[in-house]
Amino acid sequence: MNNEVQSTQIKKTMLAAAVATALVAGNVQAANWLMLQGTEPANSAERAKVWGFVQAEYQQTDDTLLPSGKKAAFNQLAPDLSTSSGFNIKRARIGVRGANLPLDSKVNYFLLAEFGNNGITTGGNAGPGQVSDASITLNHIPGARIRVGQFKTPGVEESLQAAPVFNYVNFTTMTDRIINERQFTSSTGNTGRNGSNSSFRDIGVQVFDAFDVKGYELSYALMYGNGNGLNRSDNNKFKDLYTYVSLEKYFSDDKGPRAKSFKVFAWNQDGKRTLSDLGDKNRTRSGLGTTFFNGKFRAAAEYITADGMIYGGSSGGGLPSDGATFSVQADEKANGYYLDLGYRVIPKLELKVRYDTLNSGTEVATNERKFTTTTIGGQYFINKKTTLLVDYEMREASAPNLASTHAANKILDTMDNRIAIQLGVVF
């Protein structure tokens, strides 16, 4: 336990030191995920730019049944869990962004609504037309831009990366289960979520900026938020603290969504959640990672740890329609990582492979579940704003500390591989 506490203190100290360094470095106007989604170009932003994107998908599994003869939740398609194969409008977002012209070009805004069928528009009273992003950024203080509202929290690379340029149809199991938070009322017995997935967003205030440090771009973000999901007020007196720092070397002048660069980053999220049966529980997430892209080769890797509020899935792997309920392991821990490689065979075609693993429920041996997925596929860039993704996911899950004949392993043995195809366009 002392080693764990010391490790956490070291991580926080490193992040604080990096942020302090950032505050005394020289300011630049480079685009990265923090800057790209939180600010507008200085002196060239439009008053109101309407934009959006649509992603239509087809996914399929073999619909292997549980040992009980009932359908397995993990072989059905999210978010409805009503079929093992089918078409879906995964994302359909439209919004407006710009600067507060002609009054003040240093005031930026970002508004986006979701009309697709996903975790934002399902759960609780959610539905089509949910606001996913609504923020105002003040750029008046050198080295300390201030963003207020609902927006992506600084954290895992998969979450910060803009959806239209994400390299896969589905997130890694690690990111989906321990970062993309599901809101439940109690630790057990939940028939469904009480609201939208977090979709990696929160409501709060963030101080951030990017700086030039001897040819490298140093970025930082400090956010203070509710930690209670989208489009609603907080449900307790506690707030979440988010910390992020990155160092990036660009290989060209292009600093957009597919910039050629090498980046290392670290982040931490810390807060509390309130459950009706257990009261207030800690929730902490931390990560370290790197990305690389030189125009032909692409690589990324990230390691994440989680302490508290671990998503437990459905009881027996079943569906709510068959009587299964969802749980949260309030005092458990988890860890995982992914390795991602891509190669541009020709400028318009990338072949790719990704390996990700999640060790969930590691504190109690009988709770532990291990998920591994190897994804192979490709993406074809029809044009600068239209992309076709084709993925084949080889999925495995097990309870490593239980006998192979145990009911838990018999259930997890029924997890299918998955085909995922997506066509996306930005407008």
Residue 248 neighbours by CB distance under 10 Å = 19
Upper half-sphere CA count for residue 218 (Cβ side, 13 Å) = 18
pLDDT exceeds 80 at position 412: yes
Report the SS3 class of residue 239.
coil
Instruction: Report the first-to-last Cα separation within the chain, whole angstroms.
Output: 51
pLDDT of the residue at 100: 85
Candidates 196, 163, 158, 151; CA nearest to 179 is 158
Mean predicted confidence (pLDDT) in 319-340: 98
pLDDT of the residue at 253: 87
Domains annotated on the chain, with CATH: 2-426 (2.40.160.10)
Mean predicted confidence (pLDDT) in 179-200: 97
Element housing 17 (H / E): helix 2-23
Mean predicted confidence (pLDDT) in 249-275: 95
Mean predicted confidence (pLDDT) in 377-389: 98
Query: Which of the listed ranges 22-36, 37-51, 413-427 does the model predict with the highest average pLDDT?
Result: 413-427
pLDDT of the residue at 32: 87
CB distance 355 to 336 below 8 Å: no
Mean predicted confidence (pLDDT) in 176-196: 97
Cα–Cα distances in angstroms (integers) from residue 132 to residues 121, 198, 233, in the given order:
9, 9, 15
DSSP string, 304-338: EEEES-EEEEEGGG--GGGT--EEEETT-EEEEEE
pLDDT exceeds 90 at position 29: no
Binned at pLDDT 50, 70 and 90, residue 17 comes out as very low
Tokens of 202: 């929160």
Provide, rounded to the nearest whole percent, the portion of the chain with pLDDT above 90.
Answer: 88
pTM of the predicted model, to two decimals?
Answer: 0.91
pLDDT of the residue at 172: 99
With 0-12 / 13-18 / 19 or more C-beta atoms within 10 angstroms meaning exposed / middle / buried, residue 142 is exposed
Dump strand ranges (E) for 64-139: 85-100, 104-114, 130-138
Burial profile 331-353: b = 16 or more Cβ within 10 angstroms, e = fewer:
ebbbbbbbebebebeeeeebebe
Mean predicted confidence (pLDDT) in 321-339: 98
74: left (phi over 0), alpha (psi -120 to 50) or beta: alpha
Distance CA 315, CA 191 (A): 10
- The predicted-structure confidence for 228-247, as pLDDT tens digits, reads as follows 999 999 999 999 999 999 99
How high is the mean pLDDT of the chain? 93
pLDDT of the residue at 30: 36
Name the amino acid, one letter, at 356.
D
Pairing status of strand 130-138 against strand 349-360: unpaired
- The predicted-structure confidence for 126-178, as pLDDT tens digits, reads as follows 999 999 999 999 999 999 999 999 999 999 999 999 999 999 999 999 999 99
Binned at pLDDT 50, 70 and 90, residue 221 comes out as very high
pLDDT exceeds 60 at position 14: no
Ranking 102-106, 261-265, 318-322, 369-373 by mean pLDDT, the lowest is: 102-106
- The predicted-structure confidence for 66-117, as pLDDT tens digits, reads as follows 999 999 999 999 999 999 999 999 999 999 999 988 889 999 999 999 999 9
pLDDT of the residue at 255: 85
pLDDT exceeds 70 at position 193: yes
Ranking 4-13, 58-67, 96-105, 211-220 by mean pLDDT, the lowest is: 4-13
Mean predicted confidence (pLDDT) in 319-345: 98
pLDDT of the residue at 262: 97
Distance CA 43, CA 108 (A): 12
pLDDT exceeds 50 at position 11: no
Binned at pLDDT 50, 70 and 90, residue 43 comes out as confident
Provide, rounded to the nearest whole percent, the portion of the chain with pLDDT above 70.
Answer: 93
Upper half-sphere CA count for residue 156 (Cβ side, 13 Å) = 28
pLDDT of the residue at 31: 45
Binned at pLDDT 50, 70 and 90, residue 2 comes out as very low
